[in-house]
Structure 1
Amino acid sequence: MIIIKIPSKKMNIYQRGTCLPLLEVNLTNLIFTAIIPRIKIKLNTSHQSTGWFGLLFGMVHGLVLIFDNTESLSLLEVFVPFASSSHRVSMGIGILALYSLLLLILTSDMMKVV
């Protein structure tokens, strides 16, 4: 049973911002539980493939910077957050995002094994 709570008018803008995505997730879950199992399996497979391709493209994006002529970086600067000599903050956040994506994908795939 899925309980849907509509945010009241007394909530401020920040509370509405955190409540509405949860409402969307609940509605999406309600819609996808009614889908035919074959289509649900195909959707799950395409969802997993999209995550792995996103990780692959993120890694290729970082590794291309090693061979770039305008912004030549070392392996250390590409894989260690906040170690680059230029664009330190933005590259550090990107590297941390890549590691977070890797951790998310690996742990979600391990959940299926355990």
Structure 2
Amino acid sequence: MSDFFSVWTLIRVSGFLAFYFMTLSLAIGLFSSFSIMKKKKARFLSYHQTSGWYGLLTILFHILLIWQDQYVPYSLRELFVPFMAKNEPLFSGLGTLSFYLFLIVIGSSDFFIKKMGVKKWKKIHFAVIPAWIFMLVHGLAIGTDSSEPWALLIYLLSSSFILVLLFMRIVESIMLHQPIGRNNTHK
């Protein structure tokens, strides 16, 4: 097998691809939640769900490749039980927790939303934020390319973009729930 298609190369590529898809899904989800996007929300929902599923499938591929890796072997137990890996247990565990949180969010969104109701689903859906953060920390800490300038740039730009969208969403939420110009300190 050529170096381009080696297990090690595919592990690295699938990790970055999973990060890309999950970042895209999170960004689309945040963007579509702005009040000005109400009329276009249905269009964005499809992109949001599709990129999330691509990300989840890419994570599964990443896990399968890690299991097959001969250089840094992982057992199934190390892959699926958080913090049990011999190699970088903390950061491997964050990757495992990230996978489970993404799985819960995507599974609940596509299969159980009607059974749980929107209110409970929204609470579960917020788990995507720690899932994405765990994925980011996992990639930065044990990704073999993470110290490369191009990889750091990807992480920096992605994180900055998500933080800006999240900040804007929080500000909008505060502004919509608290009327502008109303001062509660004076009667």
Q: TM (normalized to structure 2)?
A: 0.41
Q: Is the 8 A contact 1:66 1:74 kept in 2?
A: yes
CA contact (8 A) 2:82 2:97 kept: yes
**2:107 matched to which residue of 1?**
106
**1:67–1:27 distance in 2 versus 1, CA, 3 Å:** closer
Partner of 2:35 in structure 1?
30
Query: Given that residues 81 and 95 in structure 1 are in contact (C-alpha distance below 8 angstroms), is that contact kept between their aligned partners in structure 2?
Result: yes
Q: Residues 86 and 68 of structure 1: is their aligned pair in 2 closer, same or farther, counting only changes over 3 Å? A: same
Structure 1 portions without partners, runs of 5+: 1-24
Counting helix residues as a fraction of each chain, which structure ranks higher? 2
Q: Show the counterpart of 2:80.
A: 79
Provide the residue aligned with 1:21 in structure 2.
none
Larger RCO (alpha carbons 8 Å, 6+ apart): 2
User: What corresponds to 1:20 in structure 2?
Assistant: none
Q: Is the 8 A contact 1:81 1:91 kept in 2?
A: yes
| Larger displacement relative to structure 2 (90-99 or 25-34) | 25-34
Contact 1:63–1:78 (8 Å) recurs in 2: no
Q: Distance in 1 between matches of 2:38 and 2:47?
A: 17
1:94 match: 95
Cα RMSD of the aligned pairs, angstroms, is: 2.2
Alpha-carbon distance, 1:42 to partner: 2.9
- Residue 50 of structure 1: CA displacement? 0.8
Letter in 2 for 1:95: T
Consecutive unaligned residues of structure 2, counting only runs of 5 or more, are: 1-29, 118-187
CA distance in 1, matches of 2:82, 2:96: 6
Shift of 1:93: 0.6
Instruction: State TM-score, norm by structure 1.
Output: 0.65
Moved over 3 A (4+): 25-28
- % identity of equivalent residues: 33
Determine the structure 2 residue equivalent to 1:13: none
Alpha-carbon distance in structure 1 between the residues aligned to 2:54 and 2:31:
27
